[in-house]
Amino acid sequence: MNVADPHVIACVVAAVFGLLIGSFVGVVADRVPRKESIVRPSSHCTACAAPLRTIDNVPVVSYLLLRGRCHACGAHIPPRDLYVEVTTAVLFAAVAWPLPTFWAVPAYSLLAAGLVALSAIDLEHKLLPRPVLYVTAAVFSVLLVLASWPSHRLGHLLFALEGAAACFAVFLVIWFVAPKAMGFGDVRLAGLCGGALGWLGLGATAVGMFAGFLFACVPAVFLLARGKANRKTALAFGPYLALGTMVAVCFGRTIAHAWVNL
């Protein structure tokens, strides 16, 4: 691997940027379910309310240096922030590599950040808050239009609409048939993921949805096997759909291509 390769430089820059955005994603994942403002007050310890020092705000590094404890009272800091920052950084680097056009990197990086926030909240609260989903969808749509123009892919916006409608419809049917198995938030999320995948093409859409269902099966089978769930247990489907979508965004065209050539 040549470190002067523009791809490598882009990935490193994207990862650092992802760490910074990941800090904000952590704030969203922490505060939105508690219906708190994501702007004020500034970051503080949830146990003793001591404000975080600048040195406590360095993504990942601060958590490791403080060994996951508040500098003032020693209360345990949830590791969620660490996972969220690292996941966002990895996804930003992964997105910067394979997209068909560089112009689409901001849109799909924003999508990654939104999906990380939604997944973190869904895993913890079994909830996909509408404000996070709508803001992600709105900003993503604007960025996608801005990416389509210079890259001569305006026609792909129609594919995005078709992908959104198709995936929304499939999940709507599942929700209608088995409303206990999945929340309506999953149906909305499927619309967002379908739109993002649709812009990349039919292959990416198929890979993303298939991967989402496949990933969701793993914990379901595990819980069923251990007798901790039955067929009526609600599972947080959002994170698996989000993961399947990001796998397809990064590797979808390669996977679809390999599949067709089998």
Residues that bind Zn ion (CB under 5 A): 45, 47-48, 50, 70, 72-73, 75
Residue with Cβ nearer Zn ion (31 or 126) = 31
Q: Helices H, strands E: what count in the chain? A: 9, 0
Please compute, for residue 88, the number of CA atoms within 13 A of its CA located in the half-sphere on the CB side: 31
Report the C-alpha gap between 108 and 96 in whole angstroms.
Answer: 9
Structure tokens belonging to residue 244: 């399947």
> Which of 50, 86 has the CB closer to Zn ion?
50
Closest contact distance (angstroms) between CB of 74 and Zn ion is 7
Q: Provide, rounded to whole angstroms, the least separation between the CB of residue 77 and Zn ion.
A: 9
User: Least distance in Å: CB of 82 to Zn ion?
Assistant: 17
For residue 157, count other CB atoms closer than 10 A to its CB. Answer: 18
Is 47 strand, coil or helix? coil
Q: In the bound complex, what is the minimum distance in angstroms from residue 48's beta carbon to Zn ion?
A: 3
Q: How far is the CB of 51 from Zn ion (least distance, A)?
A: 10
CB of 52 to Zn ion, least distance (A): 9
> 182-208: string of b/e by CB count within 10 Å (b at 16+)?
bbebbbbbbbbbbbbbbbbbebbbbbb
Considering the complex, what minimum distance in angstroms separates the CB of residue 64 from Zn ion?
Answer: 17
Site of tokens 């992802």 = 18
> Is the Cβ–Cβ distance between 186 and 122 less than 8 Å?
no
Picking from 167, 180, 172, the residue whose alpha carbon sits closest to that of residue 210 is 167
**Residue whose CB is less far from Zn ion, 48 or 178:** 48
Structure tokens at 168: 């929304």
CB nearer to Zn ion: pick between 23 and 141? 23
The single residue listed with the structure tokens 């994170």 is 239
Task: Specify the residue, 49 or 145, whose C-beta has the smaller distance to Zn ion.
Answer: 49
Q: Which CB, 78 or 98, lies closer to Zn ion?
A: 78
Q: Residue written as tokens 């800090």?
A: 23
Asked if 241 contacts 190 with a C-beta cutoff of 8 angstroms, the reply is yes
CB closer to Zn ion, 12 vs 73:
73
Task: Kindly state the smallest distance separating residue 37's Cβ from Zn ion, in Å.
Answer: 20
CA distances from 197 to 117, 161, 210, 256 (A): 19, 10, 12, 13
Identity of the residue, 46 or 101, whose beta carbon is nearer to Zn ion in the bound complex? 46
Neighbours of 96 (CB within 10 A): 24
